[in-house]
Structure 1
Amino acid sequence: MSLLEEQTQYGMLKGIHKLSRYPEGTLKDCTLVVPNTIHTPYGDLVPQYEDDGLRRKFTYSLSFYANGILKSISLQEKTVFNTAQGDIAAELVTFYEDGSIHRLFPLNGKLSGFWAEKNEYELEPVLHFQTKQVTFDKKIIGVSFYPSGAVHSFTFWTRDTLEVELPFGKVETRIGLALYENGAVKSLEPRRPTLIQTPVGKILAYDVEAIGVNGDINSLGLYEDGSLKTVTTQANVITVKKPNGETVTAAPSLHMSHFDDEVKRVEPLIIRFEDGNVVLPNGTFSLTNCTFTVGLFDPENVKISNECDGC
């Protein structure tokens, strides 16, 4: 096996097994198979160079932006990073293009028939976190930061939840929690259908199809002052009566599953509040000039939409 070398602004990389480059020729990412030490603002770091064959992912040891700034590093051993939330030991770290930390992952395992989420979870340490609105001790998949160093979001394990106090009540949260830079709650993902008081009435907030990639974007969103910004529901219908007497109805929609013709799936209704208006898929309506009625969505009385009609 012929190994390569590459000079970077973090030092000479040796023992490169494979690499890729940007069109202009600069190093994009590489996999190392011998020990290297790179010199960074966060201290000397040792990129991953061994494949344990079972637990750890072994793809790229290092990734770079086109300007040569470090984009991510998979570490050979857990390494401690000092953050606004204290010291956090991580196996994988990603960075912004200005060099500041973007995300920290305490573990970087691969799930397979030999290594399950349960095994990975058992290795995870319990960490202490404290922000403007939440304080908790919990295992997390990852934490992201703003370039300033303030926490941007937490991503939780599927088995874990967190109760968050909001201006309109407590909400049990799954998947993730995002914050504004000042620490105020920006968005979260309700664990179960949760009744939320909104400017148009009480809505059961929940998104059964929420994707738990990370905690950055969630279905229940707030403005920085704590007022409601967005809410997703699969249980409610909103009827709007306009000043001229015309009525408009906004509701979730019913579709055939992409994977099973016998299964129906509900596409949720997303509601947004902004500038004294409620924004629905079929229009923007004044909260002052219109009246609103909230009802329950009955999928039995809805025509199923086949997204492949005519294809």
Structure 2
Amino acid sequence: MLTATRIELRGVTQHSDYPDGVMAECKLDKLNVVPTSCGDLIPHYTEPDVRTKDAKSMSFYPSGAIRVINLESQTLIPTPLGAIPAELVTFYEDGQLDGVFPLNGHIGFGWTEAEELKLARPFTFSFSFGEVTAKIINVRFYPTGEVKSLTLWSGETVKLTTPAGIFPARAGLRLHRSGALASFEPAMPIAIRTPIGFVQAYDVDALTMAGDQNSVRFDEAGRLTHVATSGDIIIASESSDTHRISSRTCLALAKDIPVKLAIEIFFDGDQVTIDSGEVCQTFSLTDTRFVALPDIDTVSLGACDLGCDSCSLG
């Protein structure tokens, strides 16, 4: 048995360690019943198949506390949202539940995302801002137990009632501890009323595998604090000449090929900060005028953006 963690493990076939000798991760080939804050769980130990090849059974924090358990089979995990079936569970270092992943197939040669998606089923969750029904990659929680975020499968869209209006969302959404909506990722370019006027909110580079960071963000009172867009922002003030901040740039390894990155706009009281990735400037809202000129390539957007006639959102 290996005891370099807080638990004794049987059948460790492979493992890697931190510099001080504490186990970082391992593979198992014998049954282990591991006590957790979610109850007793069984890490993966049987011969891998096409979905589970190369999967580690468990990983740990440097303290030896459990970080991740790749489960032997899909198991109902008790959560603040009710019991959720999971193939992988993550924990905070103090042992509290961090995240629940209903599926954990390893996408790659021999197993495709489309095949994994066929195994996914929709879940319905009720929040203060309404119900959300979608196929999810994961649900994450704050250390104190409140829902933190949902990450949606690629191609999934949900209709959200937000402080800025009702909009279709993709990728995911984040909540404040209070349960109020903290952020969402628009499923299509949407016109958001902001302190600098209407802005087309959409991030063409949005990460579709994480629902924690999104283009449109609100504080707990529902005030807009951030929006991402692409194009140009024209700035005119009494104290300086008119100038432009653009999302167009050239990457270091391909200077002859122009690309468009997201422009991030942050709102804080009477100030606005505009960050293009190359230029980041803060302006006063009291003596500055702004014009947002969107430049979003709708040809590359998903089917949800092509029209409403076939939209499942209704």
TM over 0.5: yes
Q: Tell me the CA shift for residue 196 of structure 1.
A: 1.0
- Aligned-partner Cα distance in 2 for 1:104–1:138: 15
Instruction: For residue 191 of structure 1, report the CA deviation from its aligned partner.
Output: 1.2
CA contact (8 A) 2:41 2:71 kept: yes
Cα pair 1:132 1:182 within 8 Å, conserved: no
How far off its partner does 1:26 sit? 1.6
User: What is the Cα deviation at residue 246 of structure 1?
Assistant: 2.8
Q: CA deviation at 1:7?
A: 2.6
Post-superposition shift, 1:207? 1.1
Aligned mates of 2:114, 2:240 — CA distance in 1: 57
Alignment correspondent of 1:90: 86
**Matched position secondary structure for 2:249:** strand
1:25-40 mapped onto 2 (5 Å cutoff): 25-40=21-36
2:244 aligned with 1:249: yes
C-alpha displacement of 1:211? 1.7
Q: CA deviation at 1:102?
A: 0.8
Alpha-carbon distance change, 289 to 39 in structure 1, aligned in 2, over 3 angstroms: same
| Cα 1:142–1:57 shift into 2, 3 Å | farther
Q: Does 1:289 align with 2:283?
A: no
Question: C-alpha deviations, 1:18-40, integer Å up to 9, x for none?
Answer: 11122112222111011111222
| 1:271 and 2:258 are equivalent in the alignment | no
Cα distance in structure 2, aligned partners of 1:207 and 1:145: 25
Q: 1:118 to 1:32 in 2, by over 3 A?
A: same
Residues 268 and 18 (structure 1 numbering): CA distance in 2 closer, same or farther, change over 3 Å?
same
CA gap 1:8/1:81 in 2 versus in 1, 3 angstroms: farther
Structure 1 range deviating more: 54-63 or 139-148: 54-63
Give 2:17's aligned residue: 21
Over 6 Å off, 4+ runs:
none
- Residue 136 to residue 293, structure 1, CA distance change in 2 (3 Å): closer
Give the C-alpha shift of residue 15 in structure 1: 0.8
Question: Is 29-38 or 275-284 further displaced after alignment?
Answer: 275-284
Structure 1 residues 190 and 12, CA gap change in structure 2 (3 angstroms): same
Tell me by how many angstroms 1:152 deviates: 0.6
Q: Which runs of 5+ in 2 are unaligned?
A: 298-314
Match of 1:224 in 2: 220
Deviations 1:196-225 (A, max 9, x none): 111111111111111223111112211111
What is the percent sequence identity of the aligned residues? Answer: 35
Equivalent residue number for residue 304 of structure 1: none
DSSP 3-state at the match of 1:121: helix
Q: CA 1:80–1:8 in structure 2 vs 1: closer, same or farther (change >3 Å)?
A: farther
1:240 aligns with 2:240: no
Work out the CA distance in 1 between the residues paired with 2:243 and 2:130. 39
Which residue identity lines up with residue 186 of structure 1 in the other structure?
Answer: A
Alignment correspondent of 1:280: 274
Tell me by how many angstroms 1:241 deviates: 2.1
Cα distance change, pair 220–57 in 1 and its aligned pair in 2 (3 A): farther
| Contact preservation (8 Å) 2:73, 2:87 | yes
User: Structure 1 pair 289/261, CA: closer, same or farther in 2 (3 Å)?
Assistant: closer
* Structure possessing the higher radius of gyration over alpha carbons: 1
Matches within 5 A, 1:1-311: 5-7=1-3, 11-235=7-231, 237-244=232-239, 246-255=241-250, 264-281=258-275, 282-297=280-295
| Structure 1, unaligned runs of 5 or more | 300-311
Question: How many pairs does the alignment contain?
Answer: 293
The alignment's C-alpha RMSD in Å is 2.2
**C-alpha deviations, 1:33-65, integer Å up to 9, x for none?**
111112223222111012332112443211111
Residue 293 of structure 1 and its aligned partner are, at CA, apart by: 2.6
TM-score, length basis structure 1: 0.87
Counterpart of 2:284, as a letter, is S
- TM-score of the pair, normalised by structure 2: 0.86
